[in-house]
Amino acid sequence: MLRSPVIIALDWDAFYCSVEEHFNPELKKIAFAVKQKGIICTCNYVARALGVKKLQLLVDAVKQFPDLVIVNGEDLSRYRDASKELWYFAREMVWGGKVERLGFDELFLDVTDMIDFNIALLDDLHVPPASSHPVSTFFFRMSKEDPSVGFSCPVSSVAGNMAAGSLPGDFEGDNLRLVLGSHLCHYIRSQILDIKGYTSSGGVSINKTLAKMAGSSHKPNQQTVLFPEFAQDFLDTYDIGRIPWIGHKSKSLILDAIYKGTDSVNHTMEGARDATVFNVRHLASKQLFVNILGQSSGDKLWNLLHGVDQTAVQPTSDMPTQISIEDTFKSLTDLIEVHNVLRRLTYSLLDRMYIDLMDSNGDWLGHPQTARLSTRPRSTGYYGPRISRSESLPSIVFSSSHSRDYIVDYLVDRCWMPLFSKLIGDAKIFDVVLLNVAVVNIEKAPTKSSDITSFFGKKRYTDDNELDVVHRAESPVTKRAKVVGEYADLEVAHFNFLGEDDEDVIFEEDSYDEPCVVCGQRMISFALEAHMRFHELGD
Ligand code: DCP
Ligand code: MG
Ligand code: MG
C-alpha cells in the first residue's frame, strides 16, 4: 500500500518578539511590539491579548495602546541568526536532515523515514494500536543505531489538538503514522523549548500545506494533527486567501471569475463575496482555475483546495543560493545619494557573505560568481517590476589582502555604479524607489582545497593582514551592518518593507501617499502589501 508522507510544520511564536525576549527577558512580562518603519510587524502574545494586531499601522497602535512598548526591528541580524540556530537544531533531530526553511520562522520536517522505522518496531512488538488500549506505551526511537535514544509515548492517543475535532475512524495505516507523528512533533517542540527557549506552533499531516494550516489553527505553543479524513471539512471553512500560496492576485482572479455576471451590486464588493473554500469548490471547477490561472497554477491551486499538495520537503542547503541586501525609498534621484546607499548596502552585503559563506577559519565555503544590481523606477510604482543588470563578481571580494573599505569602494565604483548607469540608460535623470545588491550563482568551494588560490588561479594571501583578520573574526557580533532587507535563498514568505534610516522616508502623515482600500488609512505605498495581510488575517 502506498503510504503518505508524514510532515511536521513548525512556526515560531511571535518570532521577532521571542528573539527580543531572549536577549531581554524583562520583555516577556510586558505588552510590546516590534516595528519596522511605519508598521507593527509583530507583537507578543501579552500585547495580542490586549488587542494589538500583527501588521497594524504603528500610528494606530500607539494611539490605541499608549502603554505599548515599541522595539525597533529594522536590523534583521538577530532574527536571522536565531532563525538559523533553530533550523540547525531542529535539523539535527530529523533523519537525513530533511528540513526546509520557509522565511525566517517556519520549518517543514519530512519525518516519514523516522515514522516508517518506528511503525515497523511497533508492528514487531504487536502493541495493540487500538484506541481501547489507552495504556499502550511505545518507545519511539530517535536513532537507528542506538536503541536508548528516544522517548516514550502512548500509541493510543494523539499529542496535542486534532483539527476538525474528533478521533479518526481507526488508528491504523496513515492514521497511526500521524499519531506517532504527533508524538514526535511534541518531542521536537519540547526539545526546542527546553534547550533553545523558543515556543512554537506545530502541525502534523500528510503534506506541507495541511501540516502548515493545521499548525496555525491552534497557537501559541500548541500543536495540531490533521487526519486526512477530516482534511476537506477543515479546509472548507477557510477563506481561500488563508490557504498558503494563494495570494491576493489569484484570489481576486478566482472571485472575479466566479462572480462574473452576477447581478447583485454587493457581489462586486470584496467583503460580500463568499470566498470560503467550500463555496469556491462548488462554484468553480478545475477547468475554470486552469483558464484563469494557467495550467500549472490552476491545477496546483485547485488541488490545494482539496487538500492535495504534492510538493516535497526540499531540504534547505547550508549554502544560500544568493545573498542580497536592499533598501526602499520614497524617491531617489541623485547620483551621489545612490553612491552612498550602494556603499552602505555593500558593507552589509560583505558582512553577510562573511557570515554565511565563510567558515570559522576564514576559508570561503562558497563563491558567488555573479554580481547583480536591481532597482525599481518610481514610474512603475512601488510594486512594479524590478529591473536588473548583472556581471561577473570581481574576485577581489574574496581577497584577504585588501581591507574591507577597499573592497567596498572597489565594488561600488567598478561594479555597482557602472551597472546602475546601464540600468538607467542614457537618461541621466532618474527616480528610483529600490536598490538591491546581490551576489548570485554561488558555487560550492572545492572540497578540502578550501584554498581559493586554485579556484581563482590567484596567489592566496596567508593572513598577516591584521585588519582583515580582526574584521572577519568580529563580523558576526560587532560589525554587523544593519541589513535592510534580504531576499536570500529563502522563499521569503512576506514582503519586507524595511529601510535603514528613516531619513529616506518621511513618516509624516501627509507623506502617506496611498490609502488602504479596506480601512482607508493612508500609508507609505510599499507598506501596503504587508498591511493588507493585517486585514486578511482578521481576528
Ligand atoms: N514579519 C515581517 N513582515 C511581515 C510578516 C512577518 O517582518 N509582513 C516577521 C515578523 C514575525 C516573523 O516575520 O515575527 C514571522 O511571521 P509570523 O507571521 O509567523 O508571525 P509571528 O511569528 O510574529 O507570530 P505568530 O505567533 O502568529 O506566528
Ligand atoms: Mg510565527
Ligand atoms: Mg510564520
Strand stretches in 191-252, DSSP E:
200-205, 223-225
Residue in the structure block whose three cell numbers are 507623506: 511
Q: Lowest-confidence range among 8-12, 82-86, 465-469? A: 465-469
For residues 394-413, average pLDDT:
94
**Which residues pair with residue 367 across a beta bridge?**
443
Atom number in ligand 1 closest to CA 12: 22
Contact 183, 190 (CB under 8 A): no
User: Cβ(117)–Cβ(6) under 8 Å?
Assistant: no
Reply yes or no on whether the pLDDT at 116 is more than 70.
yes
pLDDT band at 237 (very low <50, low <70, confident <90, very high): very high
Task: Determine the pLDDT at residue 138.
Answer: 92
349 Cα–ligand 3 center, Å: 25
Arithmetic mean of pLDDT, 330-336: 92
Best probe residue, ligand 1, of 13, 15, 101, 328 (max atoms within 8 Å of C-beta): 15
496 lines ligand 1 (CB under 6 A): yes
Q: For residue 403, which phi and psi values (nearest 5 degrees)?
A: -70, 160
Q: What pTM was computed for the model?
A: 0.77
The per-residue b/e assignment along 243-270, b for 16 or more CB within 10 angstroms, e otherwise, is: bbbbeeebbeebbebbbeeeeeeebeee
Residues with CB under 5 A from ligand 2 (ion): 11-12, 15, 105
How far is the centre of ligand 3, averaged over its atoms, from the C-alpha of 200 (Å)? 10
Residue 351, ligand 1, Cβ within 6 A: no
What pLDDT is stored for residue 253 in this prediction? 92
Residue 491 has pLDDT above 90, yes or no: no
CA distance 370 to 355: 18
Q: Is the CB of 79 under 6 A from ligand 1?
A: no
Q: Which residues of 42-57 are buried (b: 16+ CB within 10 A; e: fewer)?
A: bbbbbbbeeebbbbbb
Q: Give CA–CA dist 165/435, Å, rounded.
A: 48
In three-state secondary structure terms, 437 is strand
pLDDT band at 489; cut points 50, 70, 90: very low
Q: Is 42 in the pocket of ligand 1 (CB under 6 A)?
A: yes
Nearest ligand atom owner, CA of 45: 1
pLDDT at residue 344 greater than cutoff 60: yes
Mean pLDDT confidence for 427-453: 78
Residue 105 Cα distances to 86, 181, 201, 485, angstroms: 9, 21, 11, 15
Q: Is the pLDDT of residue 434 over 60?
A: yes
Atom nearest to 55 CA in ligand 1: 8
- Predicted confidence at residue 164, as pLDDT, reads 86
Pocket flag, ligand 1, residue 220 (CB < 6 Å): yes
Residue nearest to atom 7 of ligand 1 (CA): 41
200 CB within 6 A, ligand 1 = no
pLDDT higher than 60, residue 471: no
The confidence score (pLDDT) of residue 468 equals: 29
| Ligand nearest to the Cα of 79, by number | 1
Cell numbers of 289, please? Answer: 482555475
Residue 51 pLDDT greater than 60, yes or no = yes
With cut-offs at 50, 70 and 90, classify the pLDDT of residue 530: low
**Of the bound ligands, which one is closest to the alpha carbon of residue 106?**
3
Report whether residue 32 contacts ligand 1, using a CB cutoff of 6 Å.
no
User: From the alpha carbon of 43, which atom of ligand 1 is closest?
Assistant: 23
Of 160-164, 334-338, 348-352, 460-464, give the lowest mean pLDDT range: 460-464
Of the two residues 77 and 200, the one the predictor is more confident about is: 200
**Ligand 3 mean position, distance from CA 203 (Å):** 12
Span from the CA of 34 to the centroid of ligand 1 (angstroms): 10
Q: Is the CB of 356 under 6 A from ligand 1?
A: no
The sign one gets for the Cα dihedral 194, 198, 200, 206 is negative
Which range has the worst mean pLDDT, 185-194, 236-245, 438-447? 438-447
Distances (CA, A) of 80 to 70, 97, 314, 355: 20, 20, 20, 11
